[in-house]
Chain A
Amino acid sequence: MFIVVNGQQHPFSGPQTLAALLLSLSPPAPFAVALNEELVLRGSFEECWLCAGDRIDVVHPTAGG
């Protein structure tokens, strides 16, 4: 089973919260997260359970015009 993190397949072995996934990924702060193209507020990571096939996007600040 897989989930997709920033467009890349990522092994997924069972029930896991978004918070647990982010702990393993340890993205540098600051970041924002979308699950299946919907924003997940930072206070909701613990209650957000992932399923196989879910798509997670983690974004960071970057330069822009």
Chain B
Amino acid sequence: MKGREIEDQLTLYGRSSASRLLLGTARFDSPSLLAHAIRAAEPAMLTVSCRRQVSSSKDSGQSFWNLVRETQRPILPNTAGCLSAREAVQTACMARELFQTDFIKLEVIGDEVSLQPDPFGLVEAATELVKLGFKVFPYCTEDLVLCRRLMDAGCEVLMPWAAPIGTGQGPRNAAALRELRQRAPEIPLIIDAGIGLPSHACQVMEWGFDGVLLNTAVSRATDPVCMAGAFATAIQAGRSAFLAGPMTVQIAAVSSTPEIGRPFADGQLESARTVDSDSNCRLPAQAFL
């Protein structure tokens, strides 16, 4: 591990990782693909869930669980599909017993079409879960007031969406997400849901978000393993760019090569030059007047 990676770690509830990618384990075509994608992504955490046994198979969940355990990655169980605070709290308690971790990705869905989080249910459930000793990762919208309420409830990480789950649309409300980042600089913010491309992930990391949680963008890619690696690279690139401090955007062109000492310029104006797009020749601006 490089020295810089050790310095720049993602720390969530005291657990540190060089990786800033959290990977969901659903919707892979085969366990083998999932295993290879995990290797390619090197995620900080893996999200998992709990469900009733749905088939007569005696293997129910066992092979999946063995695969996940073999990766030795930290586990983040979720409350996916819960439609009320009460259901989410009950599911979180079951998940803690099953996975033996206090970490919980809290989902309380308020709209079954968009799968938009229910802000009221989220705050209610988060408050209760924190009292029960859980370390809550709430899947929320970019609403600033909601995020404040979740922080007040004791959440030490927030996971705002970029777009609805599974859509791959990328950040739909860039201004609000960037404002949230600026107004809540003290808390880790993980973009969760709606990311479709590595460029989306890179973009939000450039804005200063602390990490990205992915699932469908990897599992439903034509080549999930290759895409997992592409996302890992993009997230690291975005983080490096954020740390490097991007230049300030300028309204007008600013020549990068010094004008002073340019040959063959005798008698020509030294300023206000532009490019003729057809001939690709640099001409004085006055030539177009």
Contacts and interface: CB of A to CB of B under 8 A. Distances in A.
B93 A39 contact: yes
Contacts of A61: 48-50, 61, 64-65, 68, 98-99
Contacts of A34: 90, 94
Contacts of A7: 52
Interface residues of A, number: 23
A32 B28 CA distance: 25
Contacts, number: 94
Q: Which of B28, B60, B90 has the most CB of A within 10 A?
A: B60
Contact of A64 (B49, B53, B94): B49
Contact of A62 (B28, B48, B97): B48
A32 B90 CA distance: 12
Contact of B52 (A37, A41, A58, A65): A58
Interface in B14-38: 24-28, 34
Interface majority SS (helix, strand, loop, mixed), chain B: mixed
Nearest to A5: B52
B203 interface: no
Nearest to B68: A61
Contacts of A41: 97
Given A6-B53, A28-B62, A32-B50, A65 B80 contact: yes
B2 interface: no
Q: Please classify how large the interface on chain B is, using the bins under 10, 10 to 19, 20 to 34, 35 or more.
A: 20 to 34
A60 B80 contact: no
Given A28-B58, A29-B62, A31-B98, A62 B90 contact: no
Contact of B49 (A28, A30, A62): A62
Contacts of A39: 90, 93-94, 97
Given A37-B90, A65-B215, A60 B60 contact: yes
A23 to B, nearest CB: 15
Contacts of A58: 52-53
B31 to A, nearest CB: 9
A56 B41 CA distance: 38
Interface of A: 6-7, 27-32, 34, 37-39, 41-42, 57-65
25 contacts: A28-B60, A30-B62, A31-B61, A31-B98, A32-B95, A32-B98, A34-B90, A37-B90, A38-B90, A39-B93, A39-B94, A59-B98, A60-B65, A61-B49, A61-B61, A62-B48, A62-B49, A62-B51, A62-B64, A63-B24, A64-B25, A64-B26, A64-B47, A65-B24, A65-B80
Given A30-B62, A32-B97, 19 more contacts: A27-B53, A30-B61, A37-B90, A39-B93, A39-B97, A42-B97, A59-B52, A60-B53, A60-B60, A60-B62, A61-B48, A61-B50, A61-B61, A61-B65, A62-B64, A63-B26, A64-B48, A64-B77, A65-B25
